A = this chain, B = another copy of it.
Amino acid sequence: MRPEVENEAPVTAKRKHLIIMASHPDDLAAARTRIVSAYDPCLLEQAGHRLAALLANHLAKAERSEGAVLPWTDPQDAIRRAAALLQNRGAQIQGESESAPVTERFAALAQLMLDQGLNLHDPRYIGHQVPAPVPLAGLFDAIGSVTNQVMAVYEMGPWATAAEQALVGELGTAIGWEPGSFAGLVTHGGSLANLTALLTARNVALGNVWESGVSRQGPPPALLAHADAHYSVARSAGILGLGSRSIVRVGLDERGRMDPAQLDDELANLRGHGQPVVAVVACACATPTGAFDPLEDIAEVCRRHAVWLHVDAAHGGAAVLSPRHRHLLTGLEKADSVVWDAHKMLFVPSLCAFVLYRDRRHRFEAFRQDAPYLFDPAAPGLAEYDSGMKTVECTKRAAAFGLWGVWSLFGRELFADMVDVTFALGRTFYEKLSAADDFEPLHEPQCNIVAFRHLPDELRRASAEQIGAFQLELRRRLIESGEFYIVPFKKDGVGALRVTIINPLTTPSHLDDLMSALRRQGRALLREKFQA
């Protein structure tokens, strides 16, 4: 190919296998011009200013509860609309044409994306374990996105690596470990974090499984887990070649916490059958109702049986930062591995999940392998800082920028504040439900997760099945109305309702309004369906 740009030395065909490809100098000059326009720093600046105004306006409206929490759209309609915009350069929205200035079309697309999203900053959003994040965290993350700071090797994202490892240090120390004795990493979500930690546990427990596969001889390995552990734990068993049936679900006490005595029995039983144990998975807290396992006692059982203790503290880990609530995590420091999602109760955007190993010697056990073209023999000491050795991800985004920025700006006290306020609201909501004749909380909450049912008089004599169906239809009606966002739940196979109060701007009066809205929507639903 001929050079299409000036100032270039003429090419000498030195090798006979050199094939001169057909050249299209004009085509590529035009392409280059289009590219330079798209990469124009002035365009970035103009679009950035527009975005700052749009985001702030959107946030203000959401915080004031203007508009719907969820602007319900049928998914097929939304997909068709997104596809149409792809196909004609976004020229359909708001009367814009393809010839409108790029900044105008950018702003119109951005506004559409904001309008079509779920408004987590509306205090009436109290849904899944996904927070209304500290808004500036998203701006810190944007530094990583615009400049594309990544890891795998230290060189590719020096500050991404530094921020992540500094945070690993803070979180491990907060758990109670000695600086220098532990290790950790950030990965893309709690499910991947659980998978990574359990992969490490599998490799430690089962000898040469990495190289040779799950052993084809001897009794099959088992993975013990809290009976209500997050679905990613059973999934991990399926992924890791152990089989989802290798899970032994350990029974719970009346408050939904793993029972150490039952764990002890299960481990003794497995030992009797000669089955190797990959790990015990405890929860802090468990997903359904936010129950914190008695970690101190569980750790003691695991120590006696010499098995790996993994604690899924994706949601509850943040409580160690609150002097008021850290007692819930007593014993966490005895875990072999811990998962802690910053994109839950540290209130940063998804995804930023930490895997922490008590003993830093385990940090390279997940992947017993190297990638010769990544790691540089000319500087072997740097491999310690190459995240690719420790995470499923090869290229990995600077996922901890948001947390590092917010922590540096506001201090760790802000996280304690948010834990305290939202956990207190869980208690407040429980008290309100308990005090009302037509609501029933399903458990006494330990944090900001509360499961409950609405039981209007008309349902007093209904079957369990009818009561459950009513809860789920009531929720769907409520969220599609845009008034509140809460989530469905089941207890003992019967439908129920559940909130996670994970927007720190929610106040007790919003909880009163939720109960009123459920009553109102419930009456309409009863009229239409359940009394037909």
Q: Which residues of B contact A165 (CB under 8 A)?
A: 75, 79, 82
A378 to B87, CA, bound (A): 34
Stretch at the interface among A207-215, A262-270, A354-362: A207-215
Q: Which residues of B contact A239 (CB under 8 A)?
A: 199, 239-240, 392
- Contact between A192 and B192 (Cβ–Cβ < 8 Å)? yes
Q: Which residues of B contact A70 (CB under 8 A)?
A: 155, 158
Q: Is A435 an interface residue (CB 8 A)?
A: yes
The listed residue (B18, B159, B192) touching A431 by CB distance below 8 A is B18
Q: Which residues of B contact A135 (CB under 8 A)?
A: 39, 41, 43-44, 146
Q: Is A167 an interface residue (CB 8 A)?
A: yes
- Contact between A350 and B395 (Cβ–Cβ < 8 Å)? yes
Q: Is A379 an interface residue (CB 8 A)?
A: yes
Q: Which residues of B contact A28 (CB under 8 A)?
A: 420-421, 424
A434 to B143, CA, bound (A): 39
Check A83/B169 contact, CB under 8 A, given A141-B142, A378-B473, A504-B35: yes
Check A472/B378 contact, CB under 8 A, given A139-B51, A241-B214, A373-B489: yes
Per the 8 Å Cβ criterion, residues 220-265 of A in contact with B are 220, 230-232, 234-235, 237-246
A128 to B14, CA, bound (A): 28
- Contact between A376 and B117 (Cβ–Cβ < 8 Å)? no
Q: Is A530 an interface residue (CB 8 A)?
A: no
Stretch at the interface among A107-115, A295-303, A331-339: A107-115
- Contact between A488 and B35 (Cβ–Cβ < 8 Å)? no
Min Cβ gap A248→B in Å is 14
Q: Is A147 an interface residue (CB 8 A)?
A: yes
What 0/1 readout, one digit per residue, does chain A (105-143) give for beta carbons within 8 Å of chain B?
A: 110011011101111110000011111111111111111
Q: Is A481 an interface residue (CB 8 A)?
A: no
Q: Which residues of B contact A127 (CB under 8 A)?
A: 156
Q: Is A304 an interface residue (CB 8 A)?
A: no
Q: Which residues of B contact A109 (CB under 8 A)?
A: 140, 405, 408-409
Check A86/B44 contact, CB under 8 A, given A244-B369, A473-B378, A512-B8: no
- Contact between A31 and B1 (Cβ–Cβ < 8 Å)? no
- Contact between A31 and B428 (Cβ–Cβ < 8 Å)? no
The listed residue (B39, B57, B146, B377) touching A349 by CB distance below 8 A is B146
Q: Is A279 an interface residue (CB 8 A)?
A: no
What 0/1 readout, one digit per residue, does chain A (323-353) give for beta carbons within 8 Å of chain B?
A: 0100000000000000000010000011100
A397 to B188, CA, bound (A): 9
Check A417/B34 contact, CB under 8 A, given A51-B143, A373-B488: yes
A-B contacts, 22 listed (Cβ < 8 Å): A18-B444, A31-B417, A48-B48, A48-B52, A48-B55, A49-B52, A55-B146, A75-B162, A79-B166, A87-B170, A90-B408, A109-B409, A110-B140, A112-B159, A116-B158, A141-B142, A189-B393, A211-B238, A211-B245, A232-B394, A239-B240, A241-B242
Q: A132-B148, A138-B147 are in contact. List 17 more A-B contacts (CB 8 A).
A: A34-B410, A35-B414, A35-B418, A45-B55, A48-B51, A58-B147, A87-B170, A105-B409, A109-B405, A109-B408, A118-B155, A131-B148, A146-B349, A148-B343, A211-B243, A211-B244, A378-B469
